[in-house]
Amino acid sequence: MVAQAPGSARLVLAPNVVHLDPEPAVFTAMKEGWARQQHARFLKASTIEPRLRLIDRFEVFTGLYPWQWTPTDGEAFITHLRSGANAIRMSTARAYEVTITLFVEYLLDRRYGWVDTCRERFGQAPQVVFHEANSVLHTLEYEGDPRRRPLTYDEVQALFDAADARPAQIRGHGRKGTLTALRDAAVLKTIYAYGTRRTESSMVDLVDLRRHRKIPQFGQFGSMAVRYGKSSKGAPPKRRTVLLVPEMDWAVDVLSEWVHEVRPRLAPGRHPALWVTERAGRMSPRSINEAFTTARDAAGLDGALDLHCLRHSYITHLTEFGYPARFVQEQVGHSHASTTAIYMGVSDEYRNHLLEASLKRRLGDDWDLT
């Protein structure tokens, strides 16, 4: 028996095994076809593979195949994940619901033929699992953990002090790792000074540090070319150039020491990466995360703070320094000003300053808040 499967693939069942249960083979073909569809859209493997794992997880939870899934199954799955000590967050629930919905929409698309295939073989067809009445509505721009926030100036200083103290502590214990501890301190300071993401920071090469004619006093560290910025789905990485602002001019000394004194001692050879390992490789995003976590814990900061909070801090502090919103948006590579605003957490002092300036413009110097 031969059946035409969607996506130009053919599902072949040999005559002598027709009596065997074909459900697993059809389910596999469905997932393969959906994966091809996503690859054709140039989605990354890091997007596709977790989606497929979730579909497998949902199938195991229900004990049913996609043509048997109902809205009740979807509701039971989310209810189960919301229970217990490790309950998922609202944003995670929505992501799961969207992924399952995308898979079902692929199956329901007549151009792929799965509806007819399922009816012919199993007497059932896929149906909508999540709809407006049983899925999380997207009503807010930001639904992340509210504990993730910009660091205060004192917290930034405490973080850097803790990172700077590690090389001496390692030497004092007679252990290896002094050079990598120096590197970790430098990379955290650079991330804050340029407001880059972890992957962007990992992928920066030496040649990406460049002079800028408007700020010649910063030498080769006047700007950073970000060539692996966060991409939109199905699009190549976005590029931008980040300028070093005068308030972050201390980063010149940090980078100069790293590039000219510390990095050569790691013997990177001809490796182009700015941040290298002891084995002459590129420092990974995970290692950058670990550098932040180590310094954060040593500084006694809130465990909910993560590396991305340094980017929140950069946006907030540039705003408090008085830079225009459009400049800040372009520095961090956001397509929309609303996204930049989500990251912002200006202090009460800054808000009071804005209020005072506004009142002076409107009422003159004789205004009084009391």
In SS3 terms, 248-292 reads as: HCCHHHHHHHHHHHHHHHHCCCCCCECCECCCCCECCHHHHHHHH
Q: Compute the Cα dihedral for 70, 98, 58, 26 and give only its sign.
A: positive
Query: How many Cα atoms occupy the beta-carbon half-sphere of 156 within 13 Å?
Result: 21
How many other CB atoms are there within 10 angstroms of residue 317's CB atom? 26
Q: Is the CA virtual torsion 203, 217, 264, 258 positive or negative? A: negative
Q: For residue 30, give the nearest of 7, 49, 63 by alpha carbon.
A: 7
CA–CA distance, 270 with 255 (Å, rounded to integer): 19
CB 205 within 8 A of CB 274: yes
Instruction: Tell me the sheet residues that pair with 243.
Output: 223
Give the H or E element holding residue 12.
strand 10-12
Ramachandran area for residue 139 (φ above 0: left; ψ -120 to 50: alpha; else beta): alpha
When computed from its CA atoms, the radius of gyration of the chain, rounded to whole angstroms, is 27
Burial 190-214 (b: 16+ CB within 10 A, else e): bbbbbbbbbebbbbbeeebbeebee
Look at residues 226, 196, 184 and name the one whose alpha carbon lies nearest to residue 209.
226
- Token pair in block for residue 355: 């209020």
Residues designated as active site: 197, 230, 308, 311, 334, 343
Among residues 341, 320, 317, 321, which one has the least CA distance to residue 329?
Answer: 341
Q: In whole angstroms, what separates CA 45 from the centre of its chain? A: 15
